[in-house]
Structure 1
């Protein structure tokens, strides 16, 4: 029996052997196996890897997306092995959370959950004390970066990751217009074309060869 046949035969798409390591505002995600058990003529929709957290304290279920990236399409009876992703990490709100790695597939309208692996270790985030909040307010002009922000990331980075809708423009723009953008590595542009559609600007930043400055330059040219 092949490696693919041994992997969760009941699932059309599956992810196995998952692990993670959080370092400040980055998370390193690994997976031994991502495969398709579909017919060999089948081509999946764009696949997304999503690192998520589910709140363990509130009565109402709450799920938070902490990091994500797209990995393109996967043909039936094919698999990826020894996968590794270094992604931007968004800390969840204060509370106790169960972390999971989700495999999602684009169905033409949205990413739908296909497979999910839960991690046993609970992740806890602490609220700042009142004194710390007061100190922060009084010293908001201080030039020291917040502890959860890596020195290599800029304010522009936060703006593009959390609140922009530039991914909608990039999802819809014609391939020829994307390829004509100047100042962006050609290989990065081709990866963007291949990995579309994106769910957020953060996913675009995670494309190899991109980054917050490159994304800003790209959106400025596409919007002009």
Structure 2
């Protein structure tokens, strides 16, 4: 058992929820690790414009406090990279490690939307559309499935598509105010080499100056938690 090691707290990306980590958490727990996944706001129908990056940060920190306050390993997928970094930057003493799974790594003064704009290739623009209120976006049913889950079993991919929800835009238009407090936290990155949402070349650019041994790779698409949960778990629990 691994009772003395930090708990793993999993944070989803755009339009997803805690549900996407189900198989990963089951395997982590079976191996004796403490693991749980969170839903980021909104939890219920609400004005999308009211949801903020600060809400994401506080959801994570409140969960840590609710479980005793011991430092945790935060694992963020895709846009979840901003949420875990925001939490770590605000309360670095509560985070033992940051793990980015084909995720955005915040840059000083840049929002997630800014990072997309500076990318050489932005495939996500062809995959999403705004909701009627203009304050959120959702994945298009005609292109989203192949981009998100092209290497997943068809039934699994269809079930996942049915569980997607609109993603508020405001949190992705907000930079993390001060990255400095998070800079000394151990961090790892898992590059997904067949990613059709965040191009692998962009993942490589975000980690170009990371130390050797902190970057690992999976030969899969943007959703390793569904396509290869066993492989992802193996990387998560291995030493850097």
Q: TM-score, normalised on structure 2?
A: 0.22
The structure, 1 or 2, with the larger RCO (C-alpha pairs under 8 Å, 6+ apart) is 2
- Name the structure with the higher helix share: 2
Q: Of the two, which has the highest radius of gyration?
A: 1
